[in-house]
Structures are given as C-alpha cells and as structure tokens.
A and B are shown apart, each in its own frame.
Chain A
Amino acid sequence: MDLNYTPEQQAFRHEVRTWLEAHVPPAPLPSFDTAAGFEQHRQWERTLNSGRWSAVNWPVEYGGRGVTLLQWLIFEEEYYRAGAPGRVNQNGIFLLGPTLMEFGTPEQKARFLPRMAAGDEVWAQGWSEPNAGSDMAAIRASARKQGDHYVLNGQKTWCSRGAFADWLFGIFRTDPNSERHLGLTFILVPLNAPGVTVRPIAQLDGDTGFAEVFFDDARVATENRLGPEHQGWKVAMATAGFERGLMLRSPARYQNTARKLVDLYRSCAGSADPCLRDAVTRAWLDAESYTLNTYWTVSRLMHGGSIGAEASLNKIFWSELDLHMHETALALLGPRAELHRGPAVGGPAVGVGSAGPLPVGSLQAANSDPLLEGAAVGDWLDGFLFALAGPIYAGTNEIQRNVIAERLLKLPKG
C-alpha cells in the first residue's frame, strides 16, 4: 500500500494546474441552464479542448490524453481547486463517451467522439418518460424501422441539458410486441431533426436544466443506433453504471464544497448554533471518506477490477453528502439563506428566477465579510437547490437501495 504520488503523477498535476491557472475565466460563468450561459460554457469546452483537457481519460485518437483513472482524479482535483466552470457536456463526455467506446462502431467513434470532446456537439439524456421514471423498463417511445431509418414517436422527459443541447441519447422500443427490458434499442438523435420538438421545463430554481422532447414521425438514420438492435437495455445499463459509478461525481467536487463550508463556518462561528460545528466536521469527514473510497476503487480498477452494483453505494453516499453540506451551509447563513445569487448591486440580473438587482446592498454594508455577501450566499442556495435533485436523478436512491440489497447483499427479490 503506497499512498504517495509518483513523480510522473506530480508532474501531471503541475501541468494541469499551470494550464488552468492561465485559462480559467476570472469570473464565474452564468448557469449553463440559461441560453447565454450555455453558449459561454460551450466556449469553455472549446477552450479546454484546445489544450486537450476536455476528456483527459479518453484515448488520444478521439481527443483525449489516454491518462489513467488516477490521473483523471488528479485532473479533477485541480479542476475544482481552480474554480473552473461546470461541464456542460458532462452527459456526453462522461456518460455517452465511455458507452460509445464500449459499444460503438469505429465509424461512430470517429463521427461522435471528437466533436463531443470539442464541445461542438453537446448531449442531452433521454431516459425517462411520463410513465417510466424509476420503472425505466416501462418506456413506450417507439422507433419503427423503415429501410435505413428509424421513425421515432412518443415522448421523453426530464432530459438533462435538453433545452439547449444538440443531440440526445436514449432508448426506444423497436419491437412493438416486446415488454419490459426486451425489444429496446439505444439511439442517438439529432435534436434539430424534423419531427423533434423540445419543450424546456423550468426547474424550481427558475432555470431550464431539463426539457421534454416529443417525437412525431422523426426520422433517424439506422447508423445512429448504438449497439445491437433490441439490446438497448444492456447498453443503457452500462451508461447508467458510469453515471452512478465514478465519472459523474468526482470527489474533488465535494472536497471543494467542504472546504468552502469550513470557511463559511469560520465567518459565521460567532452567531452559529454550536451543533453546526459538528455538522461541518461531519461534512468535511464524509467528503474525505468519499475521496478515499474513490481512490480505493480506482486502485482496484487499475489492476483489473471492475465496478458493478457497487456504483449504487457511491450514488447514495455523494448525493446525501451534497445535500447535508448545503443544508448545513444554509443553516449557517440563517436569515441570509434565502438570498438569490446576484451580481453587485446595479449589475444585470442572472437567471430566469431573479427579477432584477437584488436588495443586498444594506447587508453588504452591514457586513464586510465577503463570504456573507450576496454573490457568495446565493451560490449556496443554488448549490442547495441542485443538491436536492441528487437523490432523484441517475436512479433514485430508493432504486439504488434495491440494487444494493438484491445484488450486493443478495436479499431475495420483492
């Protein structure tokens, strides 16, 4: 057991840090779930790609650097340390990308991966339907084969990034007589195709992070099928595995939040309920636990191990941790916890939900601590609202608990 980085890994960290320090935008970008923010984040993806940093663990031929999982962790640590923008193409790079590498044809890989890495094509997810949420095998959106095309009909919903994305991946029922997990096919759909209608859904923070997508005889070439026909469930499960597993939530994200929470506690300690000191400590420890567990898993994976149902343990841990940290932050902020993120007084408002310049001027005047000023306070509220979704997306935590109970603990099926 050796918990030290090699000189090569240290050098990699140095290279990442140096590049990020020179390129990360000095001010935070607006939310990528707004039209303007989306385009700015796309630009950032292009910048990342220009330095070959957008998909570091991908093979070199598709725009990556072919680095190990451990170097990916180092990259993520530096990324969060630098305060770099969120990844608008996460669906593509971390979910569809690995799935394409596993199931795609050489032509599909060459067609999709480089554009994904470059941010030229940003991806939305298309799993859920109005009557197929946790019960994903109940999906009814159909794809009827007609020559060299599929004709798509039906509806997907809660499509993350759907409002502004270029493409959508999802599963469709290709065998009309099939039931449940059988007869489904994984298809890549251009969102500008005739017959595809995207209707953005405003989230409870007012932004449009997801959308409903309607298909009315939308034609998609069969070359956009990923994996064998009627085998879409298997392909989708691989994607879901990546999502719950390692790639969706790197530990640096939570370590970064935990560090900010400690700083916030220091700013508020004088007025805070002493119980919150405990809550902050627990948050810091659990962020460390999550990190250690990830390194533990990565060490196993790098030596031939695999990750299966264990991914469900991860998903529960990070989603609950994220919520705990943000609840604690809001408790520390007390009466300021309801303040929306806003620019300095007089500047333009950000996001659909904020009606205009925010009345934080008097607070700022009364409190010189920058951590208690409007912008920083609003970040915690945004983070809290986002964290609320954690136990729901990527498979609800209740579904994850079923997976843990049945596949890891081997309890009888219900």
Chain B
Amino acid sequence: MDFRFTDDQLTFQATLRKALEKECTPEQVRALWETESGRSAQRWAQLAELGLLGLLVPEDHGGLGLNEVDMVLLLEETGRAALPEPVLETAAVGVPILRNTPLARTWLPKVAAGDAILTVGHPLNPYVTDAHVADLLLLPHDDALHAVPRTRTTLRRQACNDPSRRLFHVDWTPTADTRVAQGPDAHRLLDAAFDRAALACAAQQLGVGQHILDMGVRYATDRQQFGKPIGSYQAVKHLLANVAVRLEFARPVVYRAAVSVAHAMPTRAVDVSHAKLAASQAALLAAKTVHQVHGAIGYTWECDLHIWMKRAWALDITWGTSAWHRARVAAAVIDGLAPSASFGYTRPLTAERGSPVAS
C-alpha cells in the first residue's frame, strides 16, 4: 500500500502546468471565444509534443503506453488552466476505445502525433463536444459502436453557456463499415469509455476548483473594505475554509478512481461516480463561494472568474449529472446491484458475514 504519485508523475504535472501557464492564459482563452473553431492548432501540437495526447497510446503506436494514474494529474492541470481543447475526448476517452478496435494501427499514431482529433458521443450527453474539429467521431447506435469520419456527418452547432465549449448535434448514418464493435463488446467499450470520461471530468474539476479557490484567496487578500482586507474577516475566511475542506477530501477520491480505472477493478463504476460527485461538489462550492467573495465584480464578463465557474457547471452535468452518479452509487451500495467495497475496511479475509455491501 503506497498511496502516492511517483516523482515522474509529479514532474510531468509540473511541466504541463508550466506550459499551460504560458500557453493558456485567460487572455488566450478569451481570444479563442471569438473564433469559429474556438480551438488552437498550435497549442494542440504542443500538447502532442509534451506527450499528453499519446499518453494512453501503446508505445508501438507511437505513444507513451501509460495509464490513467499517470494521466489524472495532467487532466487536473487542464482544468486548472481552463484548457478549451478536447484532451478529455481525444486522449482520455477516444484513445482507449480505439486501442481495442482494428482502427488502432491507423489512428493511434496520428492521435499521438497531434494529427488527429477524436470525440465521443454518449446517450447521457445530448450533444457531442468538439465534433467540428474531430477527425473521427466515436458514436453509439443501437447495439453497436461506430467510428465515423467527420466528412460523413452533418453538424449543427448548439449555443451554450461556457463560451469555450463547442456543442453539436450530429446527423449521421450508421453503416457496416463504420461499425467497430457490437453487442456485449460495444457495451463494454462504451461503459469503460463512460467511466474514463467521468473520471477525467472529476480530475478537471479538481483543477477548476483549486484555481477558483486560489482566485478567491487572492481577491480576499487584495480587496479592502472598512480599512482591512476582506479576507481578514471571519465571515469570509470561513467560507473559503469550507471550500478547502471539500477540495482536500475530493482529491484522494479521484486518485483512487484512477487506480480503479487503470486496473479495471470490479468497483470501478462506484469509485468513478464517487470521484465525480466529490470533485464536482468541491468545484461547485468553490464557484458559488468565490463568486460571493468577489461581490459585484465577480458578476461581470470582464472578471475572469466566470471562465472557471462556467467550466465547473458544465463538467458537473456532462458524463452523468451528480444525481445520476449518486443514483448509481445508491444502486450499488444500498440495493447491492453492483460491486462496491469500503476502502480497506471490508476487504474480507474469509467469507464475510452480514450485508451484501460487504462483498
């Protein structure tokens, strides 16, 4: 038992943070809002260069051949920077789907090199994100999973709250040659993809929440009222302290879920839902609290707070709302319909007596 990241993993995180602090500033994020694609090809190439896009790509396809534990801190950084590019869709979710299909050989080297973008549809998400820049769309239909080149789709953009997000309604026709899996295979791929996406949302929420808290602390330290920084008043201190508590306790939950996904643990579904719930709760509390701490300035378009606040709201409702994830946990923990296990505590040495939760 060693619940720590390796030095390599922490170094990778620090490298990405530094790169994004330079290449993904609030000014750069805002500048892309006004563009048609909303995406930076140059930054995408840099992310490929760093190895992020090919992190889950096997080495013989030009990637790093690493796993979700290696990736989770990096996704956290993409949240901290409010990165608009589809790292989640491409690198965290799309790649592992393709890894298990005949398309791996052709597509994965391109993804790792930054030459192809992927996106993924799911019945719980009414729209497909970043379909406009994706070269290949991974879309479920009936009992099958299809890989559809964008050229064979018709896209309609749907306006949305976060100016960085790009949502699309996708018209397409499933054919035999777009089908990459069907039946139980397709379900397995889609279920795993869903959990990877929810885990990635959770990791990004940690970064989003931490950034918002940092903004709140900075503002409360600088802003003076009644002749003192507002952060010296307990009314403000206690609000921010509550955010720190929630964030601190969400973090190891997300990291454990990364382990469960990387090693396909039987408790993966519950662990991932827990991660998304805990991280979203922390990020949403951060958003609400720090908005209050900012007062009227936080209500303006000019203040950068809404960049992260809107991201927190979006991440909370995609890849399963909190209500959906809590229902999934309840079905497992209360109704015993799926495996769940208390960490450490109930790991049985011999047959455990009592409730089905203990198994």
Contact = CB atoms under 8 A, between A and B. Distances in A.
Contact of A3 (B1, B251, B330): B1
A176 B156 CA distance: 79
A252 B342 CA distance: 9
B87 to A, nearest CB: 21
A411 interface: yes
A19 interface: no
23 contacts: A1-B5, A2-B2, A3-B1, A255-B342, A259-B342, A259-B358, A266-B334, A277-B330, A284-B329, A296-B255, A310-B248, A317-B249, A398-B234, A400-B241, A401-B238, A401-B241, A405-B237, A406-B237, A409-B237, A410-B217, A410-B221, A411-B231, A412-B229
Given A266-B334, A299-B2, A405 B344 contact: no
Contacts of A398: 234, 238
Contact of A288 (B220, B229, B242, B342): B342
Contact of A259 (B228, B277, B357): B357
A115 B228 CA distance: 52
B217 A289 contact: no
A9 B6 CA distance: 22
Interface of B: 1-6, 69, 213, 217, 220-221, 228-229, 231-234, 236-238, 240-242, 244-245, 248-253, 255-256, 259, 274, 277-278, 326, 329-330, 333-334, 342-347, 349, 355, 357-358
Q: Which of B241, B248, B252, B343 counts the most A-chain CB atoms under 10 A from its CB?
A: B241
Contacts, number: 174
A73 B344 contact: yes
Given A277-B334, A303-B4, A405-B240, A290 B249 contact: yes
Given A6-B1, A317-B249, A412 B221 contact: yes
Contacts of A3: 1, 3, 256, 259
A37 B81 CA distance: 57
Contact of A316 (B237, B245, B250): B245
Contacts of A303: 2, 4
A404 to B, nearest CB: 4
A394 to B, nearest CB: 16
A77 interface: yes
B251 A414 contact: no
Interface in A299-313: 299-300, 303, 310, 313
Contacts of B326: 278, 281-282
Interface string A6-44: 100110011001000000000000000000000000000
